[in-house]
Amino acid sequence: MLNSYSSADKVLLAVDCIIFGFDDEGLKILLIKRDFEPEKGKWSLIGGFLKKEEVLDTAAIRILDRYTGLQDIYMEQLYAYSEINRDPVERTISVAYYALINIENHNAELTQNYHAQWFSIAQAPKLIFDHDSMVEHAIRRLRYRTSIKPVGFELLPEKFSMRQLLELYEAILSKELDKRNFISKINSLDILIKLEEKDMMSSRKGSYLYTFDKEKYDAKLLDNFVLNL
C-alpha cells in the first residue's frame, strides 16, 4: 500500500494571497516585485509553496507574514488554479486566498520594511502568470460578498464617517449609489454605533463618526440576507 502512489504524477502546490485595502483614494491591491526567475523584477501577488507539514490555511498565514509582516487579518480561500502551463518552470497548482485590511493601519510597515506597494485597482500593472485572473476573480467574490454580508470592518479605520462607508461600497461595486437609500439600508442592519465625534474635514458642520458594533457585526455575518444596493 505504501508504494501505491509511486506511479502517480507529482505536482507543486502554491498559495497566492490577494490583499485588498481601502483609503481616501479608493480600493487598492498590494503587490510585490518578484525577486527570482522566471519573471524576475515583474509585479506579482504575494505567494509561496505549501510545505509537507502544512495545511493550506497555515501556509497562507505563513506566506503573508513572511512577505508583509501582516498577522491576524481576515482571509478567505478563493479558488484553485490548475491550468497545465500556468507556471513555465514546473507543473504547479495554485490555491488563491484574498484578504481585506485597512491601509491606514499598515501602510508604513508594508512599504518601508517589506517593499510592498499599493496600487489602485484601475491602475495596477500587469501581473505575472495568471495573477491578473486571480485578482479579477477576487473582485467578483468581494462584490458578491458585499451583496450578502456587511463589509467594512476590515477595510475602514476604527472611526469612520458615513461618507467613507458609502465610498467604500461604491469602490467595491464600481458604481455610484443613492446616498439616502444606502444610509437607510445600512442603518437597518443595526451594526453601527454613532459617536459624538465629528469629521470636520468633510463640511463646515462636520459629519458624525461611527464605529462598528463588533458583537452585532459578527452576528450579522452569520445571517442570510440580501442588501440589494
Same domain, 36 and 72: yes
Q: Has residue 126 been placed in a domain?
A: yes
3-state secondary structure of 100: strand
pLDDT score at 223? 74
Per the prediction, the chain carries an average pLDDT of 89
Closest by Cα among 225, 197, 224 to 211? 197
Burial annotation 28-66 (CB, 10 A radius, 16+ → b, else e): bbbbbebeeeebeeebbbbbbebeeebeeeebbbebbee
- Domain span at residue 196? 160-221
* Mean pLDDT confidence for 43-48: 96
Cα separation, 107 vs 194, in Å, equals 27
Residue 159 confidence (pLDDT) above 70: yes
CA 190, 196, 197, 203 dihedral sign is positive
* Mean pLDDT confidence for 170-180: 93
Same domain, 31 and 115: yes
Residue 67's pLDDT band, with cuts at 50, 70 and 90, is confident
Q: Lowest mean pLDDT of 22-26, 48-52, 77-81, name the range.
A: 22-26
Tell me the pTM: 0.89
Same domain, 122 and 175: no
Tell me if 47 sits within 8 A of 64, measured CB to CB: no
Q: What is the pLDDT of residues 130-145, one digit of tens each?
A: 999 999 999 999 999 8
Report the share of the chain in percent with pLDDT over 90. Answer: 62
Residue 1 confidence (pLDDT) above 60: no
How many other C-beta atoms are found inside a 10 Å radius of the C-beta of residue 94?
Answer: 24
Cα separation, 120 vs 6, in Å, equals 47
* Mean pLDDT confidence for 37-66: 95
Residue 38: asked if its preceding bond is cis (omega within 30°), the reply is yes
Same domain, 63 and 127: yes
* Mean pLDDT confidence for 185-214: 88
CATH number for the domain that contains residue 91: 3.90.79.10
* DSSP code at position 210: E
